[in-house]
Structure 1
Amino acid sequence: MEFKILGKRNDIALIVSDEVVIKDTQSALDLIATAQYETGRDKLIVYKSCVIDDFFILSTGIAGEILQKFINYHVKIAIVGDYSKYTSKPLKDFIYESNKGNSIFFVSSLEEALHKLDNTY
């Protein structure tokens, strides 16, 4: 796993990995700690391929547990990927409501992730 610093204010860390890095709450905490230690950034971008598939099945509770860690540690995150394959209304509603907020974003491109996080404080 590597970090690439991006953003208008160089305050965003892009996680670069070929592996799933967010598997459960502990791996989310490890990512938060590593990102803050290695980069000093509290705004993260991760590709959907780096997040365990069960995250997107809301009935597992994994998404809520993981995202609560980001909220608790005041870390903003944008997850970049194609969400069109998901047909679950609760998931679509969850994504919609998250995107209306200021901390968690589900976006389709790196550019959109940068735009969202560049406009948060």
Structure 2
Amino acid sequence: MTDQLEHIEDVPVFVLGSDGPPVAGENDAMDLIVAAGHYGADAKWAVVPTSRLCSDFFTLSSGFAGMIAQKFTSYGVGLAILGDVSGYESKPFQDWVRETNKGRHVWFVRDMDELAGLLRR
């Protein structure tokens, strides 16, 4: 799948394809935020498959996940991490997943159906 704009529950969502270079730094996050805004519909959310995130994202002590989340929040674009993260068993990471899923800016979703359900609320 290639990167594409989709409308889910009437919300413009920029979906990153599962193949491609990883989001591995601040510049990659900014490129993704800019790409989300270049489709004429100003995507409100960006969906990033777990396969496109560098391993530092899943180690909270690296600070990478927090930096990425803050960038998206600052620019008003929601961030949905797509895929199973249960294999990342660190308690701090799983606590962060649980807490972010209570909010409105960063979500961890198993699949696109779960994202659609969250966008409905």
| TM-score computed with the length of structure 1 as normaliser | 0.89
State the partner residue of 1:34.
35
The alignment covers a number of residue pairs equal to: 119
Deviations 1:2-57 (A, max 9, x none): 21313121422212241234111110011100110135212111211111111000
Task: Report deviation, 1:106.
Answer: 0.7
State the partner residue of 2:94.
92
2:109 aligned with 1:79: no
Q: Which amino acid is the alignment partner of residue 59 of structure 1? A: S
State the partner residue of 2:24.
23
Gaps of 5+ in 1: none
Give the 3-state SS of the residue equivalent to 1:16 in structure 2. Answer: coil
Give the 3-state SS of the residue equivalent to 1:19 in structure 2. Answer: coil
- Partners of 2:119 and 2:57 lie apart in 1 by 21
Aligned residue among 97, 113, 116 for 2:115: 113
Give the 3-state SS of the residue equivalent to 1:44 in structure 2. Answer: strand
| TM-score computed with the length of structure 2 as normaliser | 0.89
Please tell me whether the aligned partners of residues 3 and 14 of structure 2 are also in contact (alpha carbons under 8 angstroms): no
Please tell me whether the aligned partners of residues 6 and 14 of structure 1 are also in contact (alpha carbons under 8 angstroms): no
Q: Which amino acid is the alignment partner of residue 38 of structure 1? A: Y
Q: Which amino acid is the alignment partner of residue 22 of structure 1? A: V
| Displacement over 4 Å in runs of 4+ | none
RMSD: 1.5
- Which structure has greater helix proportion? 1
Task: Report deviation, 1:113.
Answer: 1.6
Give the 3-state SS of the residue equivalent to 1:91 in structure 2. Answer: helix
